[in-house]
Amino acid sequence: MTGAILPETGPTLSAQHYTRTAALLHWSIAALILANLVMGFVCAWLELSFEEVIMNLHKVIGLLVLALSLLRLVWRLTHRPPEPVYGGALQRKAAGVVHAALYTLMLALPMSGWLVTSSFPKRHPIRVGLFDLPFLPVGASLPRAILAHGVHEVLSLAMVALVLGHILAALHHHFILRDGLIARMRLGSRG
């Protein structure tokens, strides 16, 4: 049987799991990304009377994803993750590429959206309660806003593809390989 959850000897169970902080960041960012993808595509496809409210929420969540992703990246760089439980070198390389692409998109996608909002000649503030979040320090430029919007859409489609691939790979590990991969990201771990 491939990929036992724990080896006969070696790291303890707690060492096989991600820390509580890493798991909380993972699941929070995942939920926010999924919500934002749905909101973004719904607003792009449908004309809604309350679209402005949804788009403001979309922008706020995007900036929250950016902030949490930066925090997660710092956490990841300062806390060693558990050893992989899965297959050979090719599978590990593929997982590394996908994770690097996800981290890149978790930063680039909100930044491109923020650039769109900051570049449009008629700026709509990003409201959080009684406060407006700042725009990027760029002047109004319709060509830049249109270009940034196109980039944002392409990055959104890439995020959809990577998220689906990530979910399918996790389900493959859970139901086919039965190697305990998903359990390693549970919220009950320490740290």
146-172 pLDDT tens trace: 999 999 999 999 999 999 999 999 999
Which of left, alpha, beta for 18 (phi over 0: left; psi -120 to 50: alpha)? beta
39-74 pLDDT, tens digit each: 999 888 887 778 889 999 999 999 999 999 999 999
CA dihedral 45, 46, 47, 52 (to 10 degrees): -80
Q: Which domains does the chain have, with CATH numbers?
A: 14-185 (1.20.950.20)
Whether the CB-CB separation of 189 and 23 falls below 8 Å is answered with: yes
How far apart, in whole angstroms, are the C-alpha atoms of residue 127 and residue 130?
Answer: 7
Q: What integer pLDDT is reported at residue 86 of this predicted model?
A: 63
Q: Which has the closest alpha carbon to 113: 139, 135, 137?
A: 135
How far apart, in whole angstroms, are the C-alpha atoms of residue 129 and residue 176?
Answer: 46
